[in-house]
């Protein structure tokens, strides 16, 4: 792996061919599972990370937390990682520098006012003025050190209750400010407003969408509309949550893990996914050393 890590591949995904599918994760385990399944990249989800820490997705996660999580995912997989950096932690340019230096593929920042609230939560979804966010994007792009790193600008205009006209104006302004891609977020069940924005897209920057509420829309359909990247932001965590709840309840209900053994992963697969099997087979590990090899 080069010093730039596996980050460069994200730029390739933006330019096609075809639609790229990113799977949400919050740790190396989730990233490894997604890579093995065949996903093109990883979405280091802010919601998943917050939930995994037991804190709200409301601007509580700090840059250092996401940097550590995205770095461990980048180290664990060969596909690129796009880090959900919320509103940019008060410094979009500093965020770009930090994640770029860590070899992460790119960052996504959204045009909400801090402290932001998750897009699906009932509550205020206030946007920063379009000029302010476009300026932050332009400044951050000027601070980027390598060609390959990717800055995705996300507009929450539709989530905040504005119409397609405002969403399109914001998306264009961010693309014109230098964003490599624009994430159009929507919480519509039938994404008519989103499709209007996509239909009016007239910039070279790639479009990214997150079909969480409009989950019946397939990646192939989105690709036909011109979308380049589709993010399955939280389905991994949601499936793990449901499975953990069922297992906990079954063990307490029956007095043993017998009734769930057939449904849960084997210890052998945990040893495999953690690399323990490879170490047992002879791969050298030095623990507690100073790295000098002595």
Among 51, 212, 222, 227, binds ligand SPV (CB under 6 A): 212
CA distance linking residue 31 with residue 25, whole number of Å: 6
User: 184 and 164 in contact (C-beta within 8 Å)?
Assistant: no
Which CB sits closer to Mg ion, 188 or 261? Answer: 188
* Tokens encoding 23: 């799977």
Residue 95 interacts with which of Mg ion, ligand SPV, none, CB < 5 to 8 Å by class: none
Among 31, 32, 34, 47, binds ligand SPV (CB under 6 A): 47
Q: Which residues pair with 231 in a beta bridge?
A: 22
Which CB sits closer to ligand SPV, 167 or 250? Answer: 167
Contact call for residue 46 and ligand SPV (CB under 6 A): yes
Give the binding-site size for Mg ion (rule: CB under 5 A). 2
User: 151 and 96 in contact (C-beta within 8 Å)?
Assistant: yes
Q: Tell me which DSSP letter residue 250 carries.
A: H
Q: How far is CA 250 from CA 171, 238, 239, 261, in A?
A: 48, 18, 17, 10
From residue 65 to residue 104, what is the string marking binding to Mg ion with x (rule CB under 5 A)? -------------------x--------------------
Contact call for residue 125 and ligand SPV (CB under 6 A): no
Contact call for residue 66 and ligand SPV (CB under 6 A): no
Q: Tell me which DSSP letter residue 202 carries.
A: -
Q: Closest Cα to residue 105, out of 144, 63, 137?
A: 144
Task: Considering only the stretches 42-50, 73-81, 129-137, 162-170, report the one whose residues sit in contact with ligand SPV under the rule CB under 6 A.
Answer: 42-50
The CA-based dihedral angle spanning residues 285, 288, 292, 293, taken in that order and rounded to the nearest 10 degrees: -40
Annotation says 176 is catalytic: no
* Tokens encoding 236: 């991994």
Contact call for residue 14 and ligand SPV (CB under 6 A): no
Residue 173 interacts with which of Mg ion, ligand SPV, none, CB < 5 to 8 Å by class: none
Contact call for residue 210 and ligand SPV (CB under 6 A): yes
Residue 24 interacts with which of Mg ion, ligand SPV, none, CB < 5 to 8 Å by class: ligand SPV
CA distance linking residue 211 with residue 206, whole number of Å: 16
Contact call for residue 24 and ligand SPV (CB under 6 A): yes
Longest distance between any two alpha carbons in the chain, whole Å: 64
List of residues contacting Mg ion (CB under 5 A): 46, 84
Residue ranges binding ligand SPV (CB under 6 A): 24, 45-47, 84, 118-119, 210, 212, 233-234
Question: Catalytic amino acids?
Answer: 57
């Amino acid at each position: 792996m080069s010093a730039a890590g596996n980050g460069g591949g994200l730029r390739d995904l933006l330019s096609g061919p075809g639609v790229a599918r990113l799977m949400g994760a919050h740790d190396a385990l989730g990233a490894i599972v997604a890579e093995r399944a065949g996903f093109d990249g990883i979405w280091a989800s802010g919601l998943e990370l917050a939930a995994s820490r037991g804190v709200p997705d409301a601007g509580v996660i700090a840059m250092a937390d996401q940097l550590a999580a995205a770095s461990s995912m980048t180290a664990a997989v060969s596909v690129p990682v796009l880090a959900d950096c919320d509103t940019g932690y008060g410094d979009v340019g500093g965020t770009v520098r930090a994640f770029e230096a860590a070899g992460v593929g790119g960052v996504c920042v959204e045009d909400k006012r801090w402290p932001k609230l998750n897009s699906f939560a009932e509550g205020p979804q206030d946007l920063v003025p379009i000029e302010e966010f476009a300026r932050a994007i332009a400044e951050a792009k000027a601070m980027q050190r390598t060609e390959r790193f990717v800055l995705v600008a996300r507009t929450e205009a539709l989530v905040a209750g504005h119409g397609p006209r405002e969403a399109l104006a914001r998306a264009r302004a961010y693309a014109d400010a230098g964003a490599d891609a624009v994430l159009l977020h929507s919480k519509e069940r039938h994404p008519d407003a989103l499709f209007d924005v996509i239909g009016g897209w007239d910039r070279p920057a790639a479009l990214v969408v997150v079909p969480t509420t409009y989950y019946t829309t397939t990646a192939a359909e989105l690709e036909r509309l011109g979308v380049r990247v589709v993010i399955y932001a939280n389905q991994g965590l949601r499936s793990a949550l449901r499975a953990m709840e069922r297992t906990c309840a079954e063990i307490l209900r029956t007095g043993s893990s017998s009734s769930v053994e057939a449904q849960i992963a084997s210890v052998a697969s945990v040893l495999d996914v953690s690399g323990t099997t490879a170490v047992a087979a002879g791969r050298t590990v030095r623990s507690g050393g100073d790295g000098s090899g002595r």
